[in-house]
Amino acid sequence: MIKTISKIGNSQGIIFDSALLQLARLKVGDEVNVEVHPGGTITISPISALPPKEEVTALIKDTMKRYAKTMEKLA
């Protein structure tokens, strides 16, 4: 896919149409990591937000409770 660098205010940028964002599973406001490699290749990678610690803890506790007997057998 060929894109053109455009003037956006006092900066320059590339406009990502909705189809491209869908393919990349990105949406407005998502954070991305931008890397410039030797030779000028630019890589844009989505940054996955981690769930809150409380949510992970609650999920682990719920799983341990529901599968307590199985966990005992595995121990």
Could you read off the pLDDT of 17-53 as tens digits, one per residue? 999 999 988 999 999 999 999 999 999 998 987 788 9
Q: Please give the structure tokens belonging to residue 16.
A: 């990502």
Residue type for 50, please?
L
Confirm if 46 and 26 have CB atoms less than 8 A apart: yes
Distance, in Å, from the CA atom of 35 to the CA atom of 40, rounded to the nearest integer, reads 10
| pLDDT, mean over the chain | 91
Which one is predicted more confidently, 4 or 25? 4
Position 68 confidence tier, pLDDT thresholds 50, 70, 90: very high
pLDDT greater than 80 at residue 61: yes
- pTM over the 0.85 mark: no
For the chain, domain boundaries: 6-74
The CATH number assigned to the domain with range 6-74 reads 2.10.260
